[in-house]
Amino acid sequence: MNILVMLISLVAAYLIGAIPTGFWLVKALKGVDIRTIGSGSTGATNVWRFAGRTAGISVFAIDLLKGFVPVAAGIQLESALALPWPGGMLPVIMATAALIGHSKSVFINFQGGKSAATGLGTLVALNPLVAVCTFATWLAVVLLGRIVSVGSIAAVISSIIYMLWLKAPMPYVAYCIVGFVYITLRHKDNIKRLLNGTEPRIGDKPVTPNS
């Protein structure tokens, strides 16, 4: 029975993460497929550039919840089940499923965003103080350099340090390491543009994907 509950929870975490917030919102507001604009991402940054601040903030908030809800549920579920592994594993597995769901959404042909906001949501559920420190790192880097992708990569690196500093459970630390690798890979096109000096800064107008 525990295995069945876990499988259902895993699928639910993926499907919650897979809700294509940015795609649906821009489609409703502008009648445009956000995947054909700017970076092609459905995340908050690309939505902000094309559809404005309110739309971008709305997508960020909802995407954050997409990470928070499955992990918070996983923490409660783990405490109710007798599982043969160290504490923290189930929330981490659900967090990973939500990240993958956001970036590889079944609803839009396994495309999606970069998973940064959803990843932050998972941290809020796992360790709120780590989440606050990670967000502060992101904000500081973005304010200094005005490049969101750099802030996202710096933030996910910092989350590992904060988890270790606060002596979080090892599954949480391992999750941050996996998240760093995954989110950095999701930003590979941004990294190429950074190296070429063409990565857009805050305030730049959206262009066609991969340009």
Q: Which of 41-50, 118-127, 132-141, 190-199 has the lowest mean pLDDT?
A: 190-199
pLDDT in tens, 160-173: 999 999 999 999 99
Task: Tell me the three state secondary structure of residue 26.
Answer: helix
Show the tokens assigned to 185.
Answer: 């890979």
Burial of 80 (0-12, 13-18, 19+ CB in 10 A): exposed
Averaged pLDDT for residues 20-27: 96
To the nearest 5 percent, what fractions of the chain are helix, strand and coil? 75, 0, 25
> Of 76, 66, 86, 74, which is closest to residue 14 (Cα–Cα)?
66
pLDDT class for 187, splitting at 50, 70, 90? confident
pTM: 0.88
pLDDT cut 70: percent of the chain above it: 94
How is residue 67 written in tokens? 């990470």
As a whole number, the mean pLDDT across the chain is: 90
Which three-class secondary structure state does DSSP give residue 105?
A: strand
pLDDT value at 115 more than 60? yes
Q: What confidence score (pLDDT) does residue 148 get?
A: 85
pLDDT of residue 74: 92
- Residue 209, pLDDT above cutoff 70: no
